[in-house]
Amino acid sequence: MNDERELAINPIVQTSVQHNTQVVSNIRNLTASLFGVAAGTLGLESYPGFIFYLIGTLIVSSLVFVFRAEGKPKEYFHQPLGDLWGGDVFSGLSSFVLTWTLFYGLVRA
Protein backbone atom coordinates (compact mmCIF):
# COMPACT_ATOMS: atom_id res chain seq x y z
CA MET A 1 0.00 0.00 0.00
CA ASN A 2 2.74 2.36 1.02
CA ASP A 3 4.77 1.28 -1.99
CA GLU A 4 1.82 1.93 -4.30
CA ARG A 5 1.38 5.45 -2.98
CA GLU A 6 5.11 6.07 -3.39
CA LEU A 7 4.85 4.97 -7.04
CA ALA A 8 1.86 7.27 -7.59
CA ILE A 9 3.81 10.25 -6.25
CA ASN A 10 7.11 9.39 -7.97
CA PRO A 11 6.19 7.46 -11.12
CA ILE A 12 8.76 5.25 -12.81
CA VAL A 13 9.62 5.24 -16.51
CA GLN A 14 9.28 1.67 -17.81
CA THR A 15 11.42 2.17 -20.92
CA SER A 16 14.32 3.40 -18.79
CA VAL A 17 14.00 0.41 -16.46
CA GLN A 18 14.08 -1.95 -19.45
CA HIS A 19 17.05 -0.14 -20.95
CA ASN A 20 19.03 -0.32 -17.70
CA THR A 21 18.24 -4.00 -17.18
CA GLN A 22 19.37 -4.75 -20.71
CA VAL A 23 22.62 -2.84 -20.27
CA VAL A 24 23.42 -4.71 -17.05
CA SER A 25 22.55 -8.09 -18.56
CA ASN A 26 24.73 -7.36 -21.62
CA ILE A 27 27.70 -6.48 -19.41
CA ARG A 28 27.10 -9.61 -17.30
CA ASN A 29 26.98 -11.95 -20.29
CA LEU A 30 30.16 -10.53 -21.82
CA THR A 31 32.15 -10.55 -18.59
CA ALA A 32 30.88 -13.99 -17.51
CA SER A 33 32.41 -15.69 -20.54
CA LEU A 34 35.57 -13.63 -19.94
CA PHE A 35 35.86 -14.93 -16.39
CA GLY A 36 35.34 -18.42 -17.77
CA VAL A 37 38.40 -17.94 -20.01
CA ALA A 38 40.45 -16.83 -17.00
CA ALA A 39 39.23 -19.62 -14.72
CA GLY A 40 39.92 -22.29 -17.33
CA THR A 41 43.39 -20.94 -18.12
CA LEU A 42 44.27 -20.72 -14.44
CA GLY A 43 43.23 -24.34 -14.12
CA LEU A 44 40.70 -23.82 -11.35
CA GLU A 45 38.61 -26.80 -10.39
CA SER A 46 35.27 -27.18 -8.60
CA TYR A 47 34.54 -24.68 -5.81
CA PRO A 48 37.46 -22.26 -6.40
CA GLY A 49 36.14 -21.70 -9.93
CA PHE A 50 32.69 -20.69 -8.71
CA ILE A 51 34.19 -18.49 -6.02
CA PHE A 52 36.32 -16.87 -8.75
CA TYR A 53 33.14 -16.17 -10.72
CA LEU A 54 31.39 -14.65 -7.71
CA ILE A 55 34.36 -12.38 -6.95
CA GLY A 56 34.49 -11.37 -10.62
CA THR A 57 30.81 -10.45 -10.75
CA LEU A 58 31.25 -8.44 -7.56
CA ILE A 59 34.10 -6.49 -9.20
CA VAL A 60 32.00 -5.89 -12.34
CA SER A 61 29.07 -4.74 -10.20
CA SER A 62 31.26 -2.21 -8.46
CA LEU A 63 32.61 -1.04 -11.85
CA VAL A 64 29.03 -0.48 -13.03
CA PHE A 65 28.28 1.22 -9.72
CA VAL A 66 31.18 3.63 -10.14
CA PHE A 67 31.23 4.31 -13.89
CA ARG A 68 27.63 3.85 -15.05
CA ALA A 69 25.48 4.59 -11.98
CA GLU A 70 27.87 7.31 -10.78
CA GLY A 71 27.50 6.18 -7.19
CA LYS A 72 23.72 6.77 -7.16
CA PRO A 73 22.13 3.37 -7.92
CA LYS A 74 18.78 4.52 -6.51
CA GLU A 75 18.41 6.80 -9.50
CA TYR A 76 18.89 4.07 -12.10
CA PHE A 77 17.55 0.91 -10.47
CA HIS A 78 14.26 0.27 -8.71
CA GLN A 79 15.89 -2.19 -6.32
CA PRO A 80 19.66 -1.58 -6.37
CA LEU A 81 20.46 -4.73 -4.40
CA GLY A 82 18.55 -7.03 -6.72
CA ASP A 83 19.00 -5.28 -10.06
CA LEU A 84 22.57 -4.02 -9.86
CA TRP A 85 24.43 -6.23 -7.39
CA GLY A 86 22.51 -9.46 -7.94
CA GLY A 87 21.05 -8.87 -11.42
CA ASP A 88 21.64 -11.70 -13.89
CA VAL A 89 24.36 -13.35 -11.79
CA PHE A 90 22.93 -16.81 -12.32
CA SER A 91 22.04 -16.38 -15.97
CA GLY A 92 25.71 -15.58 -16.63
CA LEU A 93 26.75 -18.73 -14.80
CA SER A 94 25.97 -20.99 -17.77
CA SER A 95 28.19 -19.06 -20.18
CA PHE A 96 30.86 -18.97 -17.47
CA VAL A 97 30.84 -22.76 -17.14
CA LEU A 98 30.84 -23.12 -20.92
CA THR A 99 34.03 -21.13 -21.50
CA TRP A 100 35.56 -22.42 -18.26
CA THR A 101 35.41 -26.05 -19.42
CA LEU A 102 36.35 -25.11 -22.98
CA PHE A 103 39.54 -23.30 -22.00
CA TYR A 104 40.41 -25.85 -19.34
CA GLY A 105 40.25 -28.50 -22.02
CA LEU A 106 42.13 -26.45 -24.62
CA VAL A 107 44.96 -25.16 -22.44
CA ARG A 108 45.31 -27.55 -19.52
CA ALA A 109 44.29 -31.01 -20.61
Partner 1 sequence: MPFAGTALNTVGLAFLTHAVYSTHEHTSLHPSTSTQKTPLPLDITLELLVSILILSTGIVLSSPSLKPIQWARWAGKIEREGRQSEGKWTREGEEVLSEGDPYAFLGLKGGKGSGEGRRGFWDVRGKRKEYADWVRAGGKN
**Can you give the binding site for partner 1, defined by CB under 8 A?**
10-13, 15-17, 19-20, 23, 26-27, 30-31, 34-35, 37-38, 41-43, 56, 59-60, 63-64, 67-69, 75-78, 103, 106-108
Which residue lies nearer to partner 1 by CB, 63 or 81?
Answer: 63
Q: Report, in Å, the least distance between residue 82 CB and partner 1.
A: 14
Which residue lies nearer to partner 1 by CB, 79 or 94?
Answer: 79
Q: Report, in Å, the least distance between residue 11 CB and partner 1.
A: 4
Q: Report, in Å, the least distance between residue 35 CB and partner 1.
A: 7
Q: Which of 18, 97, 100, 26 is nearest to 64 (CA)?
A: 26
> How far apart, in whole angstroms, are the C-alpha atoms of residue 107 and residue 29?
22
Q: Which of 83, 80, 102, 84 is nearest to 35 (CA)?
A: 102
Burial track 24-40 (b if 16+ CB lie within 10 A, e otherwise): beebbbebbbebbbbbb
